[in-house]
Amino acid sequence: MKARYRLFIGLGLVLIGGLALSFGHKEKKKVHPAAIETATAACPTIDDSNVLTTPSTCNGSDGSITGITGTGTGTLKFTWYNFSHVVVGTTRDLINVPAGYYQLELKDSSKCLAATKPYYIDVKNPLLIDTSNIVITPPGCNQPNGSITGIVATNATQYQWTDSKGKVISNTKDLTNVVAGDYTFIASNATGCTISGNYSVTNGSYAPAIYYTTITNSDCMHTGAFTAAFNVKPTDPLYLYSITNSSGEVKQSGAIGYIPNDTARISLTKLAPDTYTLTTIGSSNCSINLLTFKIGYSPLTIDTSGMHIKSDVCGQALGTIVGLQVNGPKPGKPATRNHGYIWLDESGKWVGQFLYLAGVPSGKYRFFVINDDMCSSDTLTFFIPDSISSASKPIVNDIKICLPGTVGLDVLNKDPDAHYQLYDSTKTLIDTSRAGYFSRKVANTTIFYIASKKGICPSPLEKVTVTVEDPGVTVPNAFTPNNDGINDYWAVTGLENYPGTEVSVFNRYGQRVFYSVNYTRPFDGRYNGADLPSGVYYYIIDTKKPDCRGGVTGSLTIIR
């Protein structure tokens, strides 16, 4: 009675809670009816008592898992994951999927952990290989009559055999009339399913069974090597063997027999790059070419895939080359000029003896390797740059003026992030400018250099030539005509070297207030007998030379 009473109370609360939810929300979230259930169990539980698993065809997606139900609190949500934990379904039933492992996850509205269960969809009519009755028959002495029979491939309709090179040699279930070797059996059916297995046909007592082989390629001094191990049983005969090169020359011969608690081995060294044949003589004096192997050539090679070149810094010999690798027989130590890791600069000077190069200036460097056998690699050439400024080399036009005066050296390709440096003819720094403009007074033809600096190093220097066509003339830019006997005249000098020179002075309104030929009468700051006021005036000095036709102009200040 108490249990029934509690049940009625629980149902009432659920009903009241449901009504409260419906009054509190005007819209209901739409969900797939097959993906969500409503129940009242405490935590989610998966019920697969009526589960039905339908196999999938091979390479198909027609498998399914149906009949599963669940219980829990509130809304139930079903999620299916495949073996890679990728969502492949969100309904109770999982359909149209390939064979494989799947996991169902069931969540409800409670705070309980989700319930999970794994399931497996099998393959419909799977291919199976049964080798319980397999018979492998060795071939006769140098006869292609070996065979592999007795394999059973369930649900297979087609068969194929391939040799060790992948060549198809038979389309029957049994493999017959073959020589000793490794073979692959492939069975398939109409649905595209395949299954395969690898099998070996040995020479029986006519030749020893090879356990493993190792081959070491040769460098330039014939350092190739070959090792073979044989699985020889106590009942096997004593086998004779010989190893010959491609010219038929016997390089080694001997016998192979059973060794208690060990494996029979043969080893051959100092082999040149060539093709070799291992021949054995077994029972009934049967001679078989058991193995053909090739000794290749392993030259010294330099791997640059991990190389890193660090630039020099402003010519301080800080350049490095690291990360090189050498493949092949490497040199021992110590390294010398004709052995080991060798670095040469452009002049052929030996500058390094390690696998890396460090502490060198910008330039080209050659690297090669000579190993202990005196085999040499190819020579590689690398270039170490200098970490010069990232700003471009400035562009500045040459300047030609008639008379000595002040010129403006203006960079045409200004970089707002760069600083500019002015050097004299000896390349000594004399000025800096952020604006890329320099004002210099020039008395004679002069050479300047300008560089841009953006980072730690200046750019290459740009040469600028200022040509003064008529040098030796001095033109002051101010004078003080106050009759104190000091600087009372505009003291232009040197014009005597240029006969016929015309000198004119103008006020700011363009009125000429002074004119002279050959400047025999210097300007005293007066016009028509009256003192001119203090201020800035402008002059034209025309030497009448062909290269300076029109004269040179400038400003002149009268100070009283």
Mean pLDDT of 12-18: 32
**Contact by Cβ (8 Å): 36, 77:** yes
Residue 8 DSSP label: H
Q: Are 66 and 80 contacting, i.e. CB atoms less than 8 angstroms apart? A: no
- 429 pLDDT band (50/70/90 cuts)? very high
Give the whole-angstrom CA distance, residue 330 versus residue 333.
10
Structure tokens at 184: 């692959």
Sequence-separated (6 or more) residues with CB below 8 Å from residue 485: none
Report whether pLDDT(497) > 90.
no
Q: CB under 8 Å to 28, separation ≥6 — which residues? A: none
Query: pLDDT per residue over 238-280, tens digit each?
Result: 999 999 999 999 999 999 999 998 899 999 999 999 999 999 9
- Alpha-carbon distances, residue 81 vs 241, 316, 457 (angstroms): 60, 63, 61
pLDDT at residue 274 in the model? 97
Which pLDDT tens digit goes with each residue over 159-215?
999 999 999 999 999 999 999 999 999 999 988 899 999 999 999 999 999 999 999
- Compute how many other C-beta atoms are within 10 angstroms of the C-beta atom of residue 280: 22
Q: Pick 304 or 546 by higher pLDDT.
A: 304
* The predicted structure's pLDDT at residue 189: 92
How confident is the model over 82-128, as pLDDT tens digits? 999 999 999 999 999 999 999 999 999 999 999 999 999 999 999 99
**pLDDT in the model for residue 460:** 85
Nearest to 421 by CA among 457, 397, 446: 457
Query: In this model, does residue 300 exceed pLDDT 60?
Result: yes
Give which of 397, 188, 343, 206 is closest to 286, Cα–Cα: 206
Q: For residue 197, give Cα distances in angstroms to 135, 145, 168, 483, 551.
A: 14, 21, 14, 122, 103
Residue 11, both tokens: 């149902």
Least confident segment among 137-151, 205-219, 540-554: 540-554
Which two three-digit tokens encode residue 391? 């700003």
- For CA atoms 435, 437, 441, 442, the dihedral sign is positive
The average pLDDT across 404-426 equals 93
Which segment of 119-123, 136-140, 439-443 scores lowest on mean pLDDT? 439-443
**Residue 85: strand, helix, or coil:** coil
Domain architecture of the chain: domains with CATH = 30-121 (2.60.40.10), 128-202 (2.60.40), 205-295 (2.60.40.10), 301-384 (2.60.40), 399-468 (2.60.40.10), 478-558 (2.60.40)
Whether the link from the prior residue into 334 is cis, omega within 30° of 0, is: yes
Strand bridging mode 552-558 / 478-479: parallel
User: Nearest 5°: phi and psi at 6?
Assistant: -65, -35
Alpha-carbon torsion, ordered 491, 495, 497, 500, to 10 deg: -150
Predicted confidence at residue 82, as pLDDT, reads 96
Residues sharing a CB contact under 8 Å with residue 132, sequence separation 6 or more, in sequence order: none
How many whole angstroms from its chain centre is CA 521? 80
pLDDT band at 550 (very low <50, low <70, confident <90, very high): low
Q: Which residue has the higher pLDDT, 239 or 314?
A: 239
Please provide the average confidence, as pLDDT, over all residues in the chain: 89
Burial class (CB in 10 A: 0-12, 13-18, 19+), 257: middle
> 31 falls in which pLDDT band (50, 70, 90)?
very low
Q: Say what the pTM is.
A: 0.48
What CA–CA distance (Å, rounded) separates 127 from 121?
15
Any bridge partners for residue 445, and if so which? none
